[in-house]
Chain A
């Protein structure tokens, strides 16, 4: 499907390019149909990763997280994570209102965490995002969206998981899915992510090799919206002074469930 504006536009580009130069000397085709040797190596390393490798990645992640003010906290299990989150929720003050609300993703790992009980004790209401009915009529659709909008703006903490985390740059990778709205990691003042140890990968090269060639990741691809998040929002626009919390979350915590 093309449009007249596109036809005209591309015709001009073709005319400008005139003839295609030969790029065989660059040694890589325009598009690839199979993993390169380097990517095969990366995928192989990914498959063979041992428990020791994983812990090494965790250490690397913690080191990379320090300078960007991302708090990485290894926890033995989900109960410990829930307890830690409740403690944090008790200590922190909401930024935009007097009352505390927490919004969490509908996600297998987060569901298992049982946050409800400890938060109940603190009398902090918990909102869980739900996937919308894809066939909802426009009115229903609007109501549900407004519901999410008001819950997420009322919350001072948003809890999500992530697809993966890159140790090299301390970067969380989140893909969009129904029930896992991106605003939960964006609008509340504090973003908390919970992942398991095996979700840590080495770097962007590994991420892209997985997204390009590994069937588990390939089927979903990058989704319609994939976010990299490396620590809290920051700016240095006023006299180059670093300030955290420009528009996005002011604080980001990452709990890594290590299963030990």
Chain B
């Protein structure tokens, strides 16, 4: 089963903030990609406005999802592929293991895919006695270290070259080097062996196109091409929402995906796959399977408030601009998806109460929405989740996160609605605040339950006089001749 731990958000976030290597890496990543992506959007012939068109395209595709998936499945089957619709993570994983067993598969080479991370494919394969090998360089590093990816596109961003050098020496026995190109060469060599000896390759799906009946995979390294070309069997895993109707629509999304993901105009490799090798072809897999996964998505689809998150194409652009992600890193989010998209998707897929800290942690600054290639209103989605947490929701089995908070706001609304009592309250508070320790004029520490507020910042004390009092005094002064 996949390892899901959004509950430890605060704890892991604190660790991340205290980790200087991570802080440096995240700052570098955001500086480069955040700006690069904005620049890449500006350079589009259609301008950044194209993102809104892409939003429409995704909206339309999701509204016709049943029809599009049906067409895709029919075309892939007509090309000799096998399509399996998996309702749950478990069904998807079991399907993969069954196919592997039937074909006597011992080793699986994997192209980077967050969906296989979501369903926990690696531990399941291992438990079944099958060796999964991550082949994306970043993922390979993570797998060697026995860790989890901390970014959707740059999974090993939290490791520096010295960490990686030590890891390679320990796990692969190479001579120590901290040169990225020598380290890459070492991985290239080790993984080439794996590619040539694997019986099965797996991949994700970036975007599928119903009109032509193809799935597409996008990579810069070429590992996905290797994993889908050399082994006998290729299984692709696809979140059910990753599809558009037509090629011309696909064209717009691919351009935006490359820009959003890596500020590129085009990734090095884009592959369009619709089936296994055909008669007369001497390479390519004998079998091609497409696993289309629901795993909680149809529930999101049924809620008009949250449906929009299904437009997401998992490019990671929102991570690259998010001030919260930029400080705490990806591990805090406790699931395959991190950053703003993780803060929305993880609660919806794994339980809103359980993952409440994720959506409460974001700042609602809106940077993610401007960076998103399909212009998803992430702040709105975060607010909608917070609303559920505040009031509870039966459909999503949400219990109000904090009764105290509700009561406090009730009390507050009563107070500000009753002028006389409000002013008494301010007077009392004005006197009471003298008891709290100060730093300069600011209050340094508040007592519980307000202690959290002053944990990492000071609190502005109440002014000596209220605005209204000040106004009256001012008028009194200016009225004296």
Assembly CA distance A64 to B264 (angstroms):
12
- Select which of A9, A16, A208, A239 is within 8 A of B161 by beta carbon: A239
Query: Are A237 and B87 CB-contacts (below 8 A) given A13-B66, A13-B298, A246-B184?
Result: no
Cβ–Cβ < 8 Å partners of B246 in chain A: 30-32
Q: How far is the CB of A11 from chain B (nearest CB, A)?
A: 9
Name the one of B74, B79, B299 contacting A224, with C-beta atoms under 8 angstroms.
B79
A196 interface contact, C-beta 8 A:
no
B226 touching A16, Cβ below 8 Å: no
Residues of A contacting B: mostly: loop
Of A12, A36, A144, the contact of B248 (CB 8 Å cutoff): A36
Residues of A with C-beta under 8 A to B266:
169-171, 228, 230
Q: Is B117 an interface residue (CB 8 A)?
A: no
- Choice from B64, B87, B229 contacting A183 with Cβ under 8 Å: B229
**B281 A227 Cβ-Cβ under 8 A:** no
Q: Which of A47-55, A118-126, A131-139 contacts B (4 or more CB under 8 A)?
A: A131-139
* Chain B CB within 8 A of A94 CB: no
Cβ distance B206 to chain A, nearest Cβ, rounded Å: 12
Question: Is B272's CB under 8 angstroms from A225's CB?
Answer: yes
A205 touches B278 (CB 8 A): no
Would you call A161 an interface residue if the criterion is a C-beta within 8 Å of the partner chain's C-beta atoms?
Answer: no
Closest to A19 in B: B63
What sequence of 0s and 1s flags, for each residue 133-174 of chain B, a beta carbon within 8 Å of any chain A beta carbon? Answer: 001111001000000000000111100110010000000000
CB distance from B457 to the nearest CB of A (A): 32
| Least CB distance, A3 to chain B, in whole angstroms | 7
Q: Are A224 and B278 in contact (CB under 8 A)?
A: yes
Given A21-B63, A31-B211; A238-B180 close (CB under 8 Å): yes
B229 pairs with A231, CB closer than 8 A: no
B283 touches A (CB below 8 Å): yes
| Contact status A233-B251, CB under 8 Å | no
Interface residues of B, count at CB 8 A: 95
Size class of the A contact interface (CB-based, 8 Å): 35 or more
In the complex, per-residue mask of A1-44: 1 if CB is within 8 Å of any chain B CB, else 0: 11101101110111111101101001000111000100100000
| Residues in A whose Cβ lies below 8 Å from that of B269 | 227-230, 233, 248
- Residue in contact with B268 in the complex, picked from A15, A212, A232, CB distance below 8 Å: A232
Q: In the complex, what residues of A have CB within 8 A of residue B154's CB? A: 236-237, 240
Q: With A224-B274, A240-B32 known to touch, is A135 a contact of B279 (CB < 8 Å)?
A: yes
A18 to B60, CA, bound (A): 14
CB nearest neighbor in A for B224: A247
When the two chains form the complex, which single residue of B137, B240, B301 contacts A235, counting CB atoms closer than 8 Å? B137
Interface positions, chain B 28-79, Cβ under 8 Å from A, are: 28-29, 32, 56, 59-60, 63-67, 69-70, 73-74, 77, 79
Are A211 and B281 interface neighbours, CB within 8 A? no
Contacts of B273 in A (CB 8 A): 224-225
Question: B388 an interface residue at 8 Å Cβ cutoff?
Answer: no
Decide yes or no whether A182 CB sits under 8 A from chain B: yes
Q: A31-B246, A211-B247, A222-B212 are in contact. Are A148 and B282 (CB under 8 A)?
A: yes
Q: Which of A221-260 contact B (CB under 8 A)?
A: 221-241, 243, 245-249
Interface residue? A178 (CB, 8 A)? yes
| CB-defined contacts of A64 to chain B, threshold 8 Å | 265
Establish whether residues B56 and A26, one from each chain, have CB atoms under 8 Å apart when the complex forms. yes
Report whether A17 and B301 are in contact in the complex, using a CB–CB cutoff of 8 Å. yes
B131 within 8 A of A: no
Question: Is the CB–CB distance between B180 and A248 below 8 Å?
Answer: no
A228 with B270: in contact, given A8-B87, A23-B63, A246-B188 (CB under 8 Å)?
Answer: yes
> Given A178-B281, A222-B272, A227-B271, A9–B85 Cβ distance below 8 Å?
yes
Q: Is the CB of A183 within 8 A of B66?
A: no
A242 nearest CB neighbor, chain B only = B180
Residue of A nearest to B255 (CB): A204
Residues of A near B245 (CB, < 8 A) are 30-31
* Closest 8 pairs (CB-CB, A-B): A248-B222, A178-B280, A134-B279, A246-B221, A16-B302, A9-B85, A237-B138, A169-B266
Extra A-B contacts (19), CB below 8 Å, given A170-B266, A227-B269, A228-B270? A2-B70, A15-B298, A17-B302, A20-B63, A31-B245, A132-B280, A183-B283, A186-B225, A208-B250, A222-B272, A223-B274, A224-B278, A228-B271, A229-B269, A238-B137, A239-B28, A243-B180, A246-B187, A247-B192
A-binding residues in B (CB < 8 A): 25, 28-29, 32, 56, 59-60, 63-67, 69-70, 73-74, 77, 79-80, 83-87, 91, 135-138, 141, 154-157, 160-161, 164, 180-181, 183-185, 187-188, 191-192, 195-196, 210-212, 214, 220-223, 225-226, 229-230, 240, 245-248, 250-251, 254-255, 265-284, 292, 294, 298-299, 301-302
**A interface residues with partner B (beta carbon < 8 Å):** 1-3, 5-6, 8-10, 12-18, 20-21, 23, 26, 30-32, 36, 39, 64, 68, 96, 129-135, 144-145, 147-149, 152-153, 168-171, 176-179, 181-183, 186-187, 204-205, 208-209, 211-212, 221-241, 243, 245-249
A-B contact pairs, 9 of them (CB 8 A): A134-B279, A149-B196, A178-B280, A183-B283, A222-B214, A224-B278, A230-B268, A240-B32, A246-B187
